[in-house]
Chain A
Amino acid sequence: AQKITQTQPGMFVQEKEAVTLDCTYDTSDPSYGLFWYKQPSSGEMIFLIYQGSYDQQNATEGRYSLNFQKARKSANLVISASQLGDSAMYFCAMREGLFFQVSGAGSYQLTFGKGTKLSVIP
């Protein structure tokens, strides 16, 4: 079963408008982390924002905010005041467990969704 679901293959947004990219997840582990990455056409994966399962408040990083609804198991990314440079693929990812560096713990890897291609229109 898919652990990370991104239902929007592509999205369009007008420049300077806000846009929400959807992400739902599935896990029975009470400790987990949710990540959003941006991948422009160059291919590099750029870390945007992180939300831990025990965090009380929604994460924010500049123009990025994460709308974390734990009961609904959703972690939507909100980009405010879209810019042309925001056009890219966006991936939601989850790590079960709070830390990566636990030796032999294969479950501490990142699982990615299929991504959403965002196009910002001038």
Chain B
Amino acid sequence: GAVVSQHPSWVICKSGTSVKIECRSLDFQATTMFWYRQFPKQSLMLMATSNEGSKATYEQGVEKDKFLINHASLTLSTLTVTSAHPEDSSFYICSAPQPSGRSDTQYFGPGTRLTVL
């Protein structure tokens, strides 16, 4: 299947700092990428849809000024958690759809575990 990379795989930061997470599609182009958040023992919650060449679409309840998304190219989307606080600690995972014949299949990055002290 397709490969989606994510960097860093884990990060620990102090409260008030900003953290940037990169998501790359390695062997295909993705005009759309998705960012999810997952709390322990829970399912994935879609945060936003990243669109190359246009603004991201945020889900209801997600602060766009806190979670900045930039889809810089057809293979790269970044999520910046601004002024992080302990409640932002979570597992963040991105995904990108790749056309697969009759339909698209969505492939996920390995995730980034963020801990805010």
Give residues in A with beta carbon < 8 Å to B. Answer: 33, 35, 37, 42-47, 50, 52, 91, 95, 98-101, 103-104, 106, 109-110, 112-115
- Given known A52-B102, A100-B104, A110-B34, contact A42–B110 (CB-CB < 8 A): yes
Are A101 and B31 in contact, with the CB atoms below 8 A? yes
In Å, the complex CA distance between A98 and B49 comes to 17
B93: A residues at CB distance < 8 A:
43, 45
In Å, the complex CA distance between A119 and B22 comes to 32
Are B113 and A43 in contact, with the CB atoms below 8 A? yes
B-side interface residues, number (CB < 8 Å): 30
Q: Does B106 contact A (CB under 8 A)?
A: yes
Are B51 and A114 in contact, with the CB atoms below 8 A? no
In Å, the complex CA distance between A44 and B31 comes to 22
Cross-interface CB contact of A50 among B32, B43, B105, cutoff 8 Å: B105
Are B111 and A44 in contact, with the CB atoms below 8 A? yes
B43: A residues at CB distance < 8 A:
91, 112-115
Cross-interface CB contact of A45 among B54, B95, B97, cutoff 8 Å: B95
13 further contact pairs, Cβ within 8 A, besides A35-B105, A44-B111: A43-B91, A44-B108, A46-B108, A47-B107, A91-B44, A99-B99, A100-B32, A101-B32, A101-B99, A101-B104, A106-B49, A106-B57, A110-B95
Output the least CB separation between A67 and chain B (Å): 19
A33: B residues at CB distance < 8 A:
103-104
A91: B residues at CB distance < 8 A:
43-44
B32: A residues at CB distance < 8 A:
100-101, 103
Are B110 and A37 in contact, with the CB atoms below 8 A? no
